A and B are shown apart, each in its own frame.
Chain A
């Protein structure tokens, strides 16, 4: 266990060093994060005005949803894209062999090898925005609420990781469809807005098939003190199911890789 922790520190130390090799990039990324958030808020404001609501959510509450979306967008930028996007490169260049020969779990390596620091700023901004929206909505932050919110965020992170991983792992078969995760990302953008803003048919899709609801709307509901226990339980179940599927699929993919490669 200690070895894994030490390895993780080294992974991310080298990732940070790599990123800082290109200083201009870091500045531009930070600027892009700030502008993106600003633009999204501008867009969101178009839906609101005096007395207007979006799917029954008012402006302050919608800010919470935007905030949590930004947290997960940051997670995608910081971990999912750089790591899972590299799987197809490993396969194309044959360097997956090196990963498989290291005495460390290959899924651990592939998922956590690097990270992009700019994403961290997004996570922080997102948390800040959600907290601000919560404050404006008159939320009282008791320890119980805080713990539940953090738990749901973790559940959501697990679902997001597993979904992304499942799609990215298909690169082992189909190198040419590596950008399937971009389709996922485009669909996830729907998480910027509360679930109730969408027509009923899409709401079901966004809860069960593509659990975007659990990424943003459900944690927001928890913060606002409106979440029901069955909903939280569903979140846990989905997280467990998706994560198990991701793990199982990876082992299956590796068996294929080692049988078919030359």
Chain B
């Protein structure tokens, strides 16, 4: 019995093989985790700045926010469009398309495998952070942790769908990944990775809330760090974005595959 083309056996095989595959690249993944230190740099800037009063977060709360932002980023980072471009270039797509499994599931599996491999390194960096700032140490309640995990998962889903959208465009243009470069910029500035949403002027905040970006880092990070935040509104927004993007991706993908086979895969 298959749900969305999956059953327990396929899931186990996919996840197992992808995890083993990612373990081979431990060193590279550790470095990717390390290259995510930007939130910590921003933290040191914000902590010393007069402007932090408008953040609504201070001292320990600020430390926790940025650490949470770092962790959320580690477990919601998506690189699917680059893997897809390489697969398309090397002709690996054709065999994938011939199998009774939607190719996107493969990329989901490889991301999950990568996240699992990344876990010890992210935890290690968090540990070092707590050594430097022991007063910021906290352990979230079980409920809080589960909610944060869910929020991070949703953030991952939204980012994955956005990149899948761009990847589908690769069926039409060879270098569609350049669009990812463009999409990354508003993400970088408005997701909450460099500054919590409250750092922006209220007018900008209102407008940004209509985009998916603040729900990718800012919302999950606040849930994780225990900051009082409107859970209902946040989850509703995340759900809405997934509901919007999912059918779009599936339709575009199918159209793309048809074109791909028409052109001679």
Contacts of B28 in A (CB 8 A): 176-179
Query: What's the minimum C-beta distance from B141 to chain A, rounded to whole angstroms?
Result: 31
Tally of contact residues, B, Cβ under 8 A: 33
Contacts of B45 in A (CB 8 A): 47, 54, 193, 197-198
**Is B82 in contact with chain A by the CB < 8 A criterion?**
no
Q: Would B27 and A36 count as touching, CB distance under 8 A?
A: no
Contacts of A186 in B (CB 8 A): 34-38
**Contact count A vs B, C-beta below 8 Å:** 86
Interface of B, secondary structure class, is helix
Which residue of chain B has its CB nearest to the CB of A49?
B51
Contacts of B230 in A (CB 8 A): none
**Is B25 in contact with chain A by the CB < 8 A criterion?**
yes
**Is B97 in contact with chain A by the CB < 8 A criterion?**
no
**Is A31 in contact with chain B by the CB < 8 A criterion?**
yes
Q: Would B31 and A179 count as touching, CB distance under 8 A?
A: yes
Binding stretch for chain A, among B83-91, B171-179, B231-239 = B171-179
Query: What's the minimum C-beta distance from B82 to chain A, rounded to whole angstroms?
Result: 12
Q: Bound state CA distance, A178 and B29, in angstroms?
A: 11
Binding stretch for chain B, among A9-17, A21-29, A134-142, A158-166 = A21-29
Q: Would B181 and A46 count as touching, CB distance under 8 A?
A: no
Q: Would B178 and A28 count as touching, CB distance under 8 A?
A: yes
Q: Bound state CA distance, A180 and B36, in angstroms?
A: 12
Query: What's the minimum C-beta distance from B63 to chain A, rounded to whole angstroms?
Result: 13
Bitwise, A176-217 to B at CB < 8 A (1) or not (0) is: 111110110111011001000111001000000000000000
Contacts of A260 in B (CB 8 A): none
Binding stretch for chain A, among B2-10, B107-115, B188-196, B244-252 = B188-196
Q: Would B32 and A36 count as touching, CB distance under 8 A?
A: no
Q: Bound state CA distance, A22 and B186, in angstroms?
A: 24
**Is B48 in contact with chain A by the CB < 8 A criterion?**
yes
Contacts of A54 in B (CB 8 A): 45, 49
Contacts of B44 in A (CB 8 A): 198-199, 202
Given known pairs A39-B185, A39-B189, the reply for A48 and B51 (CB within 8 Å) is: yes
Contacts of B175 in A (CB 8 A): 22, 24-25
Q: Bound state CA distance, A28 and B179, in angstroms?
A: 7
Given known pairs A22-B175, A24-B173, the reply for A47 and B49 (CB within 8 Å) is: yes
**Is A55 in contact with chain B by the CB < 8 A criterion?**
yes
Q: Bound state CA distance, A177 and B32, in angstroms?
A: 10
Q: Bound state CA distance, A29 and B175, in angstroms?
A: 12
In the A-B complex, list the 9 residue pairs whose CB atoms are closest, starting with the nearest. Answer: A28-B178, A39-B189, A186-B35, A182-B35, A183-B35, A35-B185, A190-B41, A183-B34, A47-B51
Other than the given A22-B174, A25-B175, 6 more pairs (CB < 8 A) read: A24-B178, A32-B182, A35-B186, A43-B195, A46-B195, A190-B41
8 residue pairs of the A-B complex, CB under 8 angstroms, read: A35-B185, A39-B185, A43-B189, A177-B27, A190-B41, A197-B48, A197-B49, A198-B44
Chain A residues within CB distance 8 Å of chain B: 22, 24-25, 28-29, 31-32, 35-36, 39, 42-43, 46-49, 52-55, 174, 176-180, 182-183, 185-187, 189-190, 193, 197-199, 202
